[in-house]
A and B are shown apart, each in its own frame.
Chain A
């Protein structure tokens, strides 16, 4: 996948040199192994810093919200679906964007690699399908498929759904993926067990809001947890307030979430917050045959009325 970088630089440099865009949003190399940092280039010369590899899991659509410039943006499958959602929700205009599409083979899970490696990691690099991890005097090789982020392992939209130019050859989409194994397990729990499961899941939350802020969908000028008139939830560590935040945040993403995994990737205490959004994704698929961000022409299910709605209460 890192072979895309030459094309990314070439396209970005051209766009900036020709004045087609005011800035290109992409990634630069981070200061730690397996971390790249979202960055912008405003001059053609700045594009030399751009990088692309399996550590670009942050969703760049998050950096487009309400921007006024003409922007070149690097977009893997999930980013492109969130760009579509942003356009539908009027957070950016299609004409403002030049989308550099990246067919994606998945991002690696830095925590899984750290767990499996054991010691302090000094350097990580990748060859085609292998991730090579170096520590003090040791080296371990992992097949990339074993260390993918969970959302990438079950991704069925690796190719960008919208783009102006591609920086690599389209990849084969994964078929026969069971996206909802974990969700079915939770659905089958009796209510009390479910309650315990969720309480336990959220017990380490520190309310830093990294999950919310990493999410391209969470762009409200004032989030409901920050409202003070009226104040909907307490701001402390009371489990009821912590759980209310997570449940409502997930509901606000119903029919919009692309399962990009930015929330879980950002969480400093490793909470599997995707279990909430995926349940709603599954419901939207089953009730409305809907997957978010695939087309600019279809309205999301929660902002249209259909006479044939599968639920009776709305008819």
Chain B
């Protein structure tokens, strides 16, 4: 739409003005040394020097624990044993400093929560109430592989504004109506016309993309036969070190799975929706006691097959991964999706021979 120039000296004032209309979230440094997205208090600034947050911003739209309904078991109450929706009281929210990969992830997650047959009200309402103010990555990390997983350090999809750090000022690329409204609320209105920033931005974008050092190949994933890939001999080796924790899935901006649980305290309770992880045996345990994914090989294979094969086949929207590198950095035993993607993409069923003892 248009590019606005924001002098860094007036940046904080604009953010404070925003807080009158929005609940503003941004990266904040925790005592433990890493960053998380948090609602910013009056006078509190987001730390935009943060390379990226330890966990993705998905929780702002899809919280780890979320009450859907509440109920009473007290038969003296007229509405006992009736599920009543918990009013979310959605207020407008702005997330400032979202990295382009994390924003792109919302598009992939939306494929699950917004379908022709089913629309998830919790996710969609929270998403509709949120304005995403992105921050382009001038200096991507060594584990970023966004340019080969459907986005890039200056990627714009799902963002309402893309901020680009130009040194003394931010160039704010207003991308949607929501973004224009937010810019108005912040008082950011210095339209950039003369400085020819477009040229500078293009150079900066190119320079950032050139700094990406990590890549995945995904060109053959669609054509490799699903059952052959499922039976591939490399899964035992990939899965061996896995301890079946949920770190990769909880850190991932594109993992969306959840579980529903009733939590009753005395006579009242809540029906909760909590994140769940395909790494846990309980995820697939049937009421009968049978578990179709009873071993960790099943579970590790499921995670990678879902992200890199089933998703690719089902949606034709690339891989279910935006290359943020969180799982690569946080896996306690160094299982690396880049390596697994390489094995899957290059798998040649005709060359499959049993290993000689």
Whether A213 touches B334, Cβ cut-off 8 Å, given contacts A32-B329, A206-B250, is no
CA distance A209 to B243 in the complex (A): 10
| CB <8 Å contact, A226 and B333 | no
Could you say which of B26-34, B112-120, B309-317 contacts chain A? B26-34
Whether A37 touches B332, Cβ cut-off 8 Å, given contacts A204-B32, A208-B250, A234-B261, is no
Could you say which of B6-14, B127-135, B175-183, B335-343 contacts chain A? B335-343
Whether A236 touches B274, Cβ cut-off 8 Å, given contacts A32-B329, A36-B334, is yes
* Contact partner, B34, options A37, A122, A269, Cβ 8 Å: A269
| CB <8 Å contact, B334 and A37 | yes
Considering the complex, give the chain A residue whose CB is closest to the CB of B296: A213
B256 CB-CB contact with A under 8 Å: no
Whether A120 touches B245, Cβ cut-off 8 Å, given contacts A31-B336, A235-B261, is no
| CB <8 Å contact, B272 and A32 | no
B142 CB-CB contact with A under 8 Å: yes
CA distance A7 to B259 in the complex (A): 49
CA distance A43 to B354 in the complex (A): 14
Chain B 243-285, CB within 8 Å of chain A: the 1/0 string? 1111100110000000101010000000010100100111000
Considering the complex, give the chain A residue whose CB is closest to the CB of B273: A236
Residues of B close to A214: CB separation below 8 A: 243, 245, 332
Residues of B close to A226: CB separation below 8 A: 280-282
Tell me if A's interface is mostly helix, strand, loop or mixed: loop
Residues of B close to A238: CB separation below 8 A: 65, 263
Size of chain B's interface in residues, with CB distance under 8 A?
Answer: 43
A210 CB-CB contact with B under 8 Å: yes
- Min CB distance A251 to B, Å, is 20
B55 CB-CB contact with A under 8 Å: yes
Considering the complex, give the chain A residue whose CB is closest to the CB of B249: A208
Chain A 62-76, CB within 8 Å of chain B: the 1/0 string? 110000000000000
Chain A 234-249, CB within 8 Å of chain B: the 1/0 string? 1111100000000000
* Contact partner, A31, options B141, B281, B338, Cβ 8 Å: B338
B54 CB-CB contact with A under 8 Å: yes
Residues of B close to A63: CB separation below 8 A: 240-241
Chain B 94-111, CB within 8 Å of chain A: the 1/0 string? 000000000000000000
CA distance A204 to B281 in the complex (A): 24
- Min CB distance A51 to B, Å, is 12
Residues of B close to A270: CB separation below 8 A: 32-34
Residues of A close to B336: CB separation below 8 A: 30-32
- Min CB distance A272 to B, Å, is 9
- Min CB distance A97 to B, Å, is 18
CA distance A265 to B333 in the complex (A): 10
CA distance A210 to B335 in the complex (A): 14
Residues of A close to B332: CB separation below 8 A: 58, 210, 214, 265-266, 268
B196 CB-CB contact with A under 8 Å: no
| CB <8 Å contact, B333 and A268 | no
| CB <8 Å contact, B142 and A235 | no
CA distance A36 to B237 in the complex (A): 15
CA distance A35 to B30 in the complex (A): 24
| CB <8 Å contact, A209 and B246 | yes
* Contact partner, B334, options A35, A43, A122, Cβ 8 Å: A35
* Contact partner, B247, options A32, A204, A208, Cβ 8 Å: A208
Interface size class of A (residues with CB under 8 A): 35 or more
B125 CB-CB contact with A under 8 Å: no
CA distance A37 to B246 in the complex (A): 18
CA distance A122 to B241 in the complex (A): 24
| CB <8 Å contact, B247 and A31 | no
Residues of B close to A181: CB separation below 8 A: none
B297 CB-CB contact with A under 8 Å: no
| CB within 8 Å of B: which A43-68 residues | 43, 58, 62-63
B218 CB-CB contact with A under 8 Å: no
- Min CB distance A71 to B, Å, is 13
Whether A266 touches B32, Cβ cut-off 8 Å, given contacts A31-B336, A38-B333, is no
CA distance A39 to B237 in the complex (A): 8
* Contact partner, A115, options B33, B141, B328, B330, Cβ 8 Å: B33
A207 CB-CB contact with B under 8 Å: yes
| CB <8 Å contact, B259 and A235 | yes
A184 CB-CB contact with B under 8 Å: no
CA distance A61 to B180 in the complex (A): 57
B64 CB-CB contact with A under 8 Å: yes
| CB <8 Å contact, B251 and A268 | yes
Whether A37 touches B333, Cβ cut-off 8 Å, given contacts A115-B33, A270-B33, A270-B34, is yes
- Min CB distance A59 to B, Å, is 10
Residues of A close to B55: CB separation below 8 A: 206
Whether A207 touches B246, Cβ cut-off 8 Å, given contacts A32-B143, A120-B141, A120-B142, is yes
CA distance A58 to B241 in the complex (A): 10
Residues of A close to B142: CB separation below 8 A: 120, 122
| CB <8 Å contact, A31 and B328 | yes
* Contact partner, B246, options A39, A208, A234, A271, Cβ 8 Å: A208
B357 CB-CB contact with A under 8 Å: yes
CA distance A270 to B329 in the complex (A): 13
CA distance A268 to B331 in the complex (A): 8
A14 CB-CB contact with B under 8 Å: no
- Nearest 8 pairs between A and B by C-beta? A236-B65, A266-B332, A210-B245, A30-B334, A213-B243, A208-B246, A237-B65, A270-B32
6 sample A-B contacts, Cβ–Cβ < 8 Å, listed by A number: A31-B328, A31-B339, A39-B237, A122-B142, A268-B330, A269-B32
- Residues of chain A whose beta carbon lies under 8 Å from any beta carbon of chain B: 30-32, 35-40, 43, 58, 62-63, 111, 115, 120, 122, 204, 206-210, 212-214, 226, 234-238, 265-266, 268-271
Beyond known contacts A31-B339, A37-B241, A237-B65: 20 more, CB 8 A cutoff: A32-B328, A32-B329, A35-B334, A36-B334, A43-B355, A43-B357, A58-B241, A62-B243, A206-B64, A214-B332, A226-B281, A226-B282, A234-B263, A236-B274, A265-B332, A266-B247, A269-B32, A270-B32, A270-B34, A271-B32
- Residues of chain B whose beta carbon lies under 8 Å from any beta carbon of chain A: 30, 32-34, 36, 54-55, 64-65, 141-143, 237, 240-241, 243-247, 250-251, 259, 261, 263, 272, 274, 277, 280-282, 328-330, 332-336, 338-339, 355, 357
